[in-house]
Structure 1
Amino acid sequence: MADLESCMAAPILSLIVPVYGVEDYVGACLDSILKAPGFANQCELIVIDDGSKDGSMDIVEQRCRGIANVTIVRQANAGLGAARNTGIAHAQGRYLWFVDSDDEICGDAIVQLTDCIVRHGPDVIAFEFETIGGSLDRSPYLPIYDQIVDPVRFMASGRPPSPVQFYAFARALIARTGHAFAPGIYHEDALFTPLALVQAGSLVRLSTACYRYRLREGSIMSLSRPEKHLADMLSISEVLGAHANRAPTGSAQQQALAREVGFALAAARHYAARTSRRDRCQAASFSRMLSAGARWWHYFPLRVLINYARLLGLAALPTSLGSGRK
């Protein structure tokens, strides 16, 4: 368990905020952090300018001018995962919190997180979130709060969310495992979060909301390139499958990772349905999709298994349709 004296020797919490093309939102994001109780004396803010070309960084510089515990790092545009990795490399806090620059944190979030760190000191803290501009369907998962639990049990309890914004990670966990974001892909959280959880030794879930998640058009998750979303989700399923294959046979870790393979393939089905037959065929072959889930399908929840079957059906369409065309 962490003690307050050791926590005060360095920032308790590093908030890592990549910035790219968010001039309409970044001011509100920074205000929510800089004005939060506990930020001034217990946290640091690391802003990564990921080659932003609009007025986002002008707003950052205006908001952060003269604030000692704010670091601004500039780099050529490399994408969200690479920007977060840059933030990890510069962080000094005992815990890392990845905050997207079009979102906000809740008013008492830092107080809630630092209190949990001091009392429990877990590898991972999970917490609730609110939405801005819409609502999301939420699947239930482990309803045990404010006590240490096994992260693998947490994973297997239902469908915990994968966005890293809804977790704080001990920097020692990241250093110990060498964990990093895969650069250049969409949905990198669907890979980072389960791999971090399966390697963690302890987790505490808070019942309070600490994060305000904005739903908006024009974000990375919009479907302007569904074929890339499809290809990246398939790659994620393959990496998760490789980690599952290295876990002890039949272990809870292997089963939890196998379920994550299924979740990634179910998401791939969502994007495959929104991709043209030609682009779908170029993004991923039927044999590759079949191979990604062939060993793990018996661990998939029923709805996930149905979506995996639908994915395979969509993948088979180009061959069957193409054979009859002139």
Structure 2
Amino acid sequence: MDSDDEIEINFVETILTSCYKYSQPDTLIFDYSRIDEFGNALDSNYGHGSIYRQKDLCTSEQILTALSKGEIPTTAWSFVTKRSVIEKHDLLFSVGKKFEDNNFTPKVFYFSKNIVVISLRLYRYRKRSGSIMSNHPEKFFSDDAIFVTYDLLDFYDQYKIRELGAVVGNLVMTMLVSFPDSKKLYNELNPIRKKVFKDYISIEKRHTKRIKKYVKMYVFSSYVGYKLYRLVKGKHWK
């Protein structure tokens, strides 16, 4: 948990009930709500995808696909997993790096073969104006963004499944959209985008609404230079 966030009062009970119902799944994913500094509800558009309506156990491929489409958050507070999954595969956060959830969570999902998705919003994420992520210039994050993206690419290279490639592609586009003024980030992530292009497109082509944004911008940014990408980025992403 983040130190200023909250969980619903029935969090532990709900998790344990699902564990017993589904015979000890590897991982349980749950929805979340967004609150302000005073605990008031805020609108939230990230995550909350159709995957939360799933009633049966999910496979790692299903969850990675949902992750690549932004249907579930990448954040480490959005799921509970067995300690044995973490220890068996030596899964660690990248020490001292921002965005460390982005190269940690997909690995957990990959090694989780039986996954339960809980539709309830059990976690309360607090959005503060004074947070680290909102009070530093983009250059403060670029090196960390590059590091976690390449680390996840290394993981994809090791296991070579399409769903992981799509997650890498989604991470690349998220970083580019989040930091459109970073030429260094654009140049460093170009080789990754090209490498996972087919995997990313094969997943996204079935999701019509996001084609208008992610896929078009993905293709566009692959074949033009940084200056043109930055120039038209705002128009395409509104």
TM-score interval, smaller chain: 0.7 to 0.9
Alignment of 1:116-195 (within 5 A): 116-120=18-22, 121-133=24-36, 134-139=42-47, 140-157=49-66, 158-159=69-70, 160-195=72-107
Deviations 1:166-199 (A, max 9, x none): 1001101001110010112111111111111011
Amino acid corresponding to residue 150 of structure 1 in structure 2:
T
Aligned 8 A contact 1:240 1:258 in 2? no
Which has the higher Rg, Structure 1 or Structure 2?
1
The count of corresponding residues between Structure 1 and Structure 2 is 208
Whether 2:203 is the aligned partner of 1:291: answer no
Gaps of 5+ in 1: 1-98, 249-253, 319-326
Alignment of 1:1-326 (within 5 A): 99-120=1-22, 121-133=24-36, 134-139=42-47, 140-157=49-66, 158-159=69-70, 160-248=72-160, 254-273=161-180, 275=181, 280-281=182-183, 283-284=184-185, 286=187, 288-300=188-200, 301=204, 302=211, 303-308=213-218, 316-317=226-227
Gaps of 5+ in 2: 37-41, 205-210, 229-238
Q: Structure 1 residue 307: deviation in Å?
A: 3.8
TM-score by length of 1: 0.58
Q: After the TM superposition, which of the residue ranges 143-152 and 176-185 deviates more from structure 2?
A: 143-152
Q: Higher relative CO (CA 8 A, sep ≥ 6), structure 1 or 2?
A: 2
Amino acid corresponding to residue 156 of structure 1 in structure 2:
T
TM-score by length of 2: 0.78
Cα 1:314–1:219, aligned 2, differ >3 Å: closer, same or farther? farther
Aligned 8 A contact 1:104 1:212 in 2? yes
- Which protein is richer in helix relative to its size? 2
Q: Report the RMSD for the aligned CA atoms in angstroms.
A: 2.4
Amino acid corresponding to residue 269 of structure 1 in structure 2:
L
Deviations 1:246-292 (A, max 9, x none): 224xxxxx21111111121112112332x4xxxx34x4362x32211
Identity of matched residues, %:
18
- Which protein is richer in strand relative to its size? 1
Cα 1:285–1:113, aligned 2, differ >3 Å: closer, same or farther? closer
